[in-house]
Structure 1
Amino acid sequence: MTTRSEEEKELRGWLAGRLPEDLYEGTPEVTVDREEITVVGAIPEPALEADAPEAERTAAQEGRIAEFRERTRGERMRVAAETERRYGRKVSWGAECGGAHALFTHVAAPVMTRLRQPQRQVLDTLIAGGVARSRSEALAWCVRLVERHTDDWLTELRDSLAHVERVRAQGPDAS
C-alpha cells in the first residue's frame, strides 16, 4: 500500500527529473491535493538600477513573469499533459520573481457542504455587508481568512497527518 506521502515524494521526484533544468531557478515548490498539482518556481529578476523606484521594480517583475509565461507555455503544456496522464490530476503553474508571485492557471474545485442556520447567517451577513456576492463566494472568503491566520496550526496538523501515515505504513496491512 502506497501512502499519500510516498506518492507525493514520487511525483516530486518525477517532476524534478522531467522539468527542463532551465525552467526555474532552483527547485520549484510542488503542492499536491486530490484534484491538482501546482508547480511554482523562482525566475530571474530583471536587471534594474539599484535605486529603481518600487513601482518600477514591481512592474518589471510582473513583466518578467508575463514574458516567462508566454515563452514557456508550450513546454509547460507538454509536461502538464504527461503529468496529468501519469498522476490523474490537473497541473497548474506559477512563478515568483522577486516579491511578485503569480499563478497562471489553477483549479477551482467545487466543494459541497451542509451548514446549519447560524453558519448560513454568517455567510448571509458577509453578503449583506458587500464582502461577497453569494454564499459560495462568502465561504471561499472565510476559508482564505482562516488560511491566512492559521498557518502555524495547519503546519502542525499536516505534520501530525504525516506521522499518522508513517505509523499506518508500518501496520499489518502494509505491503
Structure 2
Amino acid sequence: MITNEQQERIAGWFSGRVPAQWQPVDVTVDKEEITIVLTTPDVELADDATDAVRAEARAGRASAFREETREQRMEIAREAQHRYERKVSWGLAIGDQRVLWTHVSAPVMTRLRQPERRVLDTLVDAGVARSRSDALAWCVRLVGQHEGDWITRLREAMDSVAQVRSEGPAA
C-alpha cells in the first residue's frame, strides 16, 4: 500500500522537477507506476465552436505537446524511475479533457467461480468487452465510479493505520 506520505513526497519531487509551464501536475502512485498528468492551457476557439471541433483542437494540442516535450519528459522519467523504482507514465490535462499517452497494464491473477466467470462472459458476448480481462477491468472501473467515496474513505482509514503503526515500537 502506498501511504499518503509517500504519495506526497513523490508529488513534491515532481512539482519541483517539472517545468513551471507544465504545472500543476497531478501525480498518482501505486506499487508499479507513477502517473503524471501535466497541464497545458486550453485551446482558444470561437464561443460557437462545436464540441467536436473543441475535442479535435484539444487532441491536436495534446499531440503537439507530447512531441515537443518528449525528450525532457523522458529525462525526468529516467530520474524518477531510478529514484522511486517505478515506471513513469505521462498524460495531459487540457480543458476538461485528460489524455494518457503511456501507462502500465499490469497483469493481475484472480480465481473466479462459475457465477463470476459467467458475468465476464456475458460482457464479452454482448460486445461490452473484448475479453475476460477487459470485462474484469470494466467491472473494476464501474465499482470505482459508483463507490468512489467509499474507496476514498477506505484508503484514508488505511493511511491512519499505517501512521499509527509507524509511531509504534520498532520491530
TM-score (structure 2 length as normaliser): 0.91
Partners of 2:86 and 2:38 in 1: CA distance: 19
3-state SS of paired residue (1:7): helix
Contact 1:84 1:91 in 2 (8 A): yes
Output aligned runs, 1:35-114, within 5 Å. 35-114=32-111
Aligned-residue CA RMSD (Å): 1.6
Q: CA offsets, 1:129-162, max 9 Å, x none?
A: 2222322121111112112211111111111111
3-state SS of paired residue (1:27): coil
Amino acid at match of 1:142: C
Partners of 1:54 and 1:9 in 2: CA distance: 36
How many equivalent pairs are there? 170
After TM superposition, the structure 1 stretch with the greater mean CA deviation from structure 2, 82-91 or 138-147, is 138-147
Q: CA 1:53 to 1:19, structure 2 compared with 1: closer, same or farther past 3 Å?
A: same
Contact 1:39 1:94 in 2 (8 A): yes
Q: How far apart are 1:173 and its partner, in Å?
A: 2.1
Contact 2:120 2:135 in 1 (8 A): yes
Q: Among all aligned residue pairs of Structure 1 and Structure 2, give the percentage whose two residues are the same amino acid.
A: 53
Amino acid at match of 1:8: Q
1:17 corresponds to: 16
Partners of 2:121 and 2:87 in 1: CA distance: 33
3-state SS of paired residue (1:15): helix
2:167 corresponds to: 170
Specify every segment of 5 or more residues in structure 2 that has no aligned partner in the other structure, as ranges: none
After TM superposition, the structure 1 stretch with the greater mean CA deviation from structure 2, 77-86 or 55-64, is 55-64
Contact 1:5 1:165 in 2 (8 A): no
Partners of 1:75 and 1:7 in 2: CA distance: 24
Partners of 1:83 and 1:156 in 2: CA distance: 29
Partners of 1:134 and 1:104 in 2: CA distance: 22
Q: How far apart are 1:125 and its partner, in Å?
A: 1.9
3-state SS of paired residue (2:73): helix
Specify every segment of 5 or more residues in structure 1 that has no aligned partner in the other structure, as ranges: none
Contact 1:123 1:135 in 2 (8 A): yes
TM-score (structure 1 length as normaliser): 0.89
Amino acid at match of 2:33: E
